[in-house]
Amino acid sequence: MARKLGARRDSLVLAARREAELRKVARECDGRTLTIVADVRRRGDVDLVRDRGLAEFGAVDVWVNNAGRGIGRKVMELSEEELDEMMAVNFKSAWYGIRAIVPHFQERGRGHLINVSSFLGRVPLVTFRSAYSAAKAALNVLTANLRMDLAPDFPDIHVSLVMPGVVRTDFARNALGGTPALPGGAGAGPSQSPEEVADVIAALIENPRPEVYTNPASAEMARRYFQDVAAFEAGASRSA
């Protein structure tokens, strides 16, 4: 996403834990780029990203919360520490971002907040991602409520939710507890490359919408799930 937006000559603030990787991405981006080593599980680090971005560029037009980590545990296998970690990475980090940037948007009267969630926050398709999915479901609801809160007084502040399906990154390899083999029949269509998801987010920046599935197959599966939860879950259980 950084490379794509940099190619448009957008000014970028890139934040992550690993400095070497950050600097590598920055070198691959056109335009002005500021890198900040930060752990978004810490509220102070998130506030620092905002403060340094404002000091460098004067204003923020778009803020993307895009931290995520999975776990390979079913509900009854989870420890309290694992559950807390999933909430910290996948939910609270975005809340820190919201608290950091929305007052700036309100002061300006405009802005665009994008929360990257997951298709699994809508459909319980992979039960060993239980805590990850629950944290993303919480993010979905928080995002919708924020959008409703802001709409009457701040119509030019956009709040968007992005729900990818399976993306070909290191996510599965880095999941806590590993990643078991998917049961037969599980999945929400073909996997996507990071570049394909970045294309969707870039288009969303140009034309804000409340929410978007990056994979059309995921949107169709979510529709079928909510149309008849019992029938969907019965069918998924038979496929497992």
Catalytic residues: 132
Which tokens go with 47?
């506030």
Is residue 29 within 8 Å of 6, Cβ to Cβ?
yes
Is residue 94 within 8 Å of 66, Cβ to Cβ?
no
102 CB-side CA count, 13 A: 21
Which tokens go with 73?
């545990």
DSSP letter at 88 equals I
Nearest to 133 by CA among 145, 143, 123, 148: 123
Is residue 46 within 8 Å of 39, Cβ to Cβ?
no
Grouping H, G, I as helix, E, B as strand and the rest as coil, residue 167 is: strand
Strands of 117-197, DSSP E: 157-163
31: left (phi over 0), alpha (psi -120 to 50) or beta: left
Backbone angles phi and psi of 28, in degrees to 5:
-90, 0
**Rounded CA separation 155/110 (Å):** 8
Q: How many CB atoms lie within 10 A of CB 185?
A: 11
**Rounded CA separation 84/135 (Å):** 10
